[in-house]
Chain A
């Protein structure tokens, strides 16, 4: 475990990761403290629609006449928790399925992985839309569905990483000594796959931000009139030629979040790759 923390530490010392962390901290500040800094209530109409920025509305107003800055400061929290929940759930479920398949082998392995094949043949967004159309829309449901859509991809990677660990002597020893499967998986197999697990978690977080933002842009995230960056882009698209800020401001923050996350995730992946290569 210590070795993995040092990998993480080494990854963070690269210039690329530092730039990523700076971007993420700026966005994180807006997400966490924005709510307390808003000049107006984010969902009330306070001025003319699509007004230019001036002293009272620093970023102008949106297509309904709400303050863009307030909506921007309020609109990151939903996206953030939804993405974290989706990625966390996807990695957890994928880990469960992948490790079980690798450990049990045989028929269990075959059935689990064929089931993952079926799930994998639905593109993420289509999968979510299919269930949302039947169960109704809610933020919790959407993030759970994105998590389930991530499960097959994660399970394939982790199954592949766990196969050599399961075949290793110390795991065979633990199994021969009659340790219950749950303990073998948790204590012996899981520590052997932490590196791919870290890489998967990082990448899935970045993809979850993209997926959740896209879904709220399409109108399947949080319900209006609440504020959300993806939703703001969708709402104000028709006013783009008159007032670009209501669209470009949330896009800038989504961009910073995605780029920052990707820089960190990629440098973790690269450091892990280099370390594993030396072993």
Chain B
């Protein structure tokens, strides 16, 4: 997982509405650049897209036909404009694999992926706060040391290793209580199959809690050492009152930017985790689209994932700027 990076844009004279508007406009601009880059890489890279799709054995005539069908013979600007307006109006062409409209493929998978990501996030946030605060409260106890050690291990582990260990533990002969393959039939809502969701959600939640919980722990220790908490102690306020009224809100506020980074990482973490459990979401769609050179599906999936990732990163940016201006 990536670290909490120091952001560039710090508002000079406090946080103003116009700063927020400018930040959001810049965000839209960056997203446009992302779409340009995505388009350029997939349409204009050396090597003929039509040739890649058809394979080495295709005749020149077949290649020319497909180029025309894909609009590859028009200028790049025209192609980009056509593609972008298509994406914005939900006309993203059809899959090269089976001719289905891309929207029909992406739609249900988006729902599956975001359900997986959101359920994990709903679990990650409160658990991370409770674990982090408890650990900071019991600082240097055996529990605290164990938590720091385990979380340090998890930040270094690839998600597929965690997923595979969970499968080995819960889905094979050892316990064998949960399905190791999360097959959700097309047309079903993911939450109709809670047992299939348990392991993928647990993997994402474990990774997120270990990362965020540690940051909450650090910012809670900072908050307890701060002057206002020491002042409150000197004034003779009760320990519980200091904990819940003074230290906790500040520690949580300080961890908010990190929480939205965790959200960004969780949304994209679904790619590998979905593959581990063969969960039918955007991640498995990306991997199979790469393997079959299904460009329209690949473009759409990547655009959705990159946008979600960027939006949460932007949120982290804005939250940390707000935190600094307070």
Contact = CB atoms under 8 A, between A and B. Distances in A.
Interface of A: 113-114, 117-118, 120-123, 125-126, 129-135, 153, 156-157, 159-160, 203, 206-207, 209-211, 213-214, 217-220, 230, 233, 237, 240-241, 244, 247-248, 251, 254-255, 258-259, 261-263, 266
B130 interface: no
B221 interface: no
B161 A133 contact: no
Contact of A261 (B156, B172, B287): B156
Interface string B146-162: 00000011011111110
Contact of A133 (B159, B171, B180, B298): B298
B96 to A, nearest CB: 12
B237 interface: no
Interface stretch (B35-43, B55-63, B75-83, B188-196): B35-43
B306 A123 contact: yes
Interface residues of B, number: 54
21 contacts: A118-B34, A121-B31, A123-B268, A123-B271, A123-B305, A126-B271, A129-B302, A130-B38, A130-B41, A130-B42, A133-B295, A133-B298, A153-B2, A214-B158, A214-B272, A217-B160, A230-B160, A237-B276, A241-B172, A255-B157, A262-B156
Given A118-B34, A133-B290, A240 B268 contact: no
B45 interface: yes
B302 to A, nearest CB: 6
Contacts of B6: 156-157, 160
Contact of A262 (B153, B287, B305): B153
B167 interface: yes
Nearest to A251: B161
Nearest to A211: B158
A203 B172 CA distance: 34
Contacts, number: 140
A120 B290 contact: no
Contacts of B41: 130-131, 134
A203 B309 contact: no
Q: Is the interface of A mostly helix, strand, loop or mixed?
A: helix
Given A130-B302, A131-B41, A132-B290, A258 B8 contact: no
A233 B268 contact: no
A214 B160 CA distance: 7
B199 to A, nearest CB: 13
A135 B47 contact: yes
Q: Is the interface of B mostly helix, strand, loop or mixed?
A: helix
B43 to A, nearest CB: 9
Nearest to B174: A244
A118 B37 contact: yes
B195 to A, nearest CB: 17
A214 B159 contact: yes
B3 A153 contact: yes
B289 interface: yes
A251 B165 contact: yes
A31 B266 CA distance: 32
B168 interface: yes
Given A157-B6, A233-B164, A255-B157, A125 B45 contact: no
Nearest to B301: A126
A247 B158 contact: no
- The 7 A-B pairs with the shortest beta carbon distances in the complex, nearest first, are A262-B156, A123-B268, A121-B310, A258-B156, A210-B158, A133-B290, A241-B172
B152 A266 contact: yes
B29 to A, nearest CB: 8
Contacts of B5: 153, 156-157
Nearest to B7: A156
Given A117-B30, A129-B286, A244 B172 contact: yes
Contacts of B95: none
B28 interface: no
A213 B276 CA distance: 13
A126 B289 contact: no
B20 interface: no
Contact of A129 (B52, B159, B168, B287): B287
B275 A218 contact: yes
Nearest to A114: B30
Contacts of B238: none
